[in-house]
Structure 1
Amino acid sequence: MDAVPLIVLGLVIYSVVWIVSFYVRDRRKRAVQAIAETLGFQFLGNGIQHIPLQARELPLFNKGRARRAENVIRGKRSDVDVLIFDYCYRIGRGNNSSTHYQTVITLTSDRLALPRFWLGPENLFHKIGQFFGLHDINFSDYPDFSKRYLLKGEDEAGIRRAFHHSVLLWFEARKSVNTEGVGRSIIYYHLGRNRAPDFWRSHLEEALSLYRQFVK
């Protein structure tokens, strides 16, 4: 009999958590729908299938498990097809598991022809990793870029061509951004950071600014 109150309490707590979670997700969905309308974009809902096939090859979309793309909106800016969405994945198991969220922008254009690359903020673990063979593509004429970012990919010569003067200066002027590219697609995000829908417009403008550097 003593177990009954505990079971009831557990059900009550579960119900409250579910209701709060539903409310938060629904409120964000409505905010994204409103932003989509102001941008002239279409709200597509949820689903990995909305991400371009080539972009799905990139490292972010192959991390962890329980991967989800939510609140996907789609539009066009000049010659660029744009997707903005919330993306999450889970790593670890049991009590050691954690879920990582970020707002991602995907830009796709026929003007892009990029080698596969990954770029993100360089941290202490990366610096230690370089002693054990982790390869970081550095640019001796751009020490701030090389100090601030880890850049990697198999086609080093192609990556060096893609990361010309304008691109390197663009990254030197910013901190803590992540970018991945392959072929006709770039993705742009801040790892582990879901942007509030009110900031999606400025987030998009920043991503388009980077795109313009790559196609110069």
Structure 2
Amino acid sequence: MEVTRGDITWKVFDFAFKTHGHYISETWSQTVAFARTGSFVIPEFILTQRKFFKSAADITCKNNVEFKDFPEFGKKYCLEGKDVSLVLRFFTPPAIRFFLVKDMQITIEAKGNQVIFYRFNKQTNPKDIAGFVAEASQIMQMLTGDLNTK
């Protein structure tokens, strides 16, 4: 599915991948909402809830971006970015408050003019796709400000 709203083109699809260990391989699959902006540039980052990392022993949040005015953000979310100073400027106080109030169970990965949203290893029921895209769109609007995402 592909939809353009204002300056943002949305695509929604299911994505599956395999991981291989010493004696086991697992298949993971999830529904992804992919957003591409026409001109807005977003710093490279990954944002996910910390509770995901507590349940996945082999994954850690190594380079967490911390907001000194919002220490509770770092307790709730793992935010990693290639250029920390850009990520710190990109996440405005209203955006940080938005994430603190919401129970965001969506992982967000961004780079340049592309952002993906997904719930790790969860596929969205087709009847719930509109709600999933609406949630991703709300997050996108909070992060990008005045872009027309509705």
Relative to the length of structure 1, the TM-score reads: 0.60
C-alpha spacing 1:211/1:111, structure 2 compared with 1 (3 Å): farther
1:154 maps to which of 53, 62, 82: 82
Identity %: 23
> Partner amino acid for 1:181?
A
CA distance in 2, matches of 1:212, 1:175: 15
C-alpha spacing 1:146/1:93, structure 2 compared with 1 (3 Å): closer
- Quick check: 1:111–1:215 contact (8 Å CA) kept in 2? no
Answer 1 or 2: which has greater strand percent.
2
> Partner amino acid for 1:187?
I
Answer 1 or 2: which has greater helix percent.
1
Relative to the length of structure 2, the TM-score reads: 0.84
Structure 1, gaps ≥5 residues long? 1-72
Q: How many residue pairs end up in the alignment?
A: 140
The aligned residue for residue 14 of structure 1 is: none
Residue 102 of structure 1 pairs with residue 30 of structure 2: yes
> Partner amino acid for 2:29?
Y
Cα deviation 1:61-94 (Å, max 9, x = unaligned): xxxxxxxxxxxx1111222101000011000158
Cα deviation 1:105-127 (Å, max 9, x = unaligned): 0111135211111111213368x
Root-mean-square deviation (Å)? 2.1
1:202 maps to which of 131, 136, 140: 131
Which structure has the larger Rg over C-alpha atoms? 1
Deviant stretches of 4+, over 6 Å: none
1:179 maps to which of 103, 108, 112: 108
Q: CA deviation at 1:164?
A: 0.9
Structure 2, gaps ≥5 residues long? 146-150
Higher RCO, Cα 8 Å, sep 6+: 2
CA distance in 1, matches of 2:45, 2:10: 19
Instruction: Output aligned runs, 1:26-45, within 5 Å.
Output: none
Cα deviation 1:137-196 (Å, max 9, x = unaligned): 111222332111111122000001111122212222123220010111111111111010
CA distance in 2, matches of 1:111, 1:208: 17
The aligned residue for residue 8 of structure 2 is: 80
The aligned residue for residue 20 of structure 2 is: 92
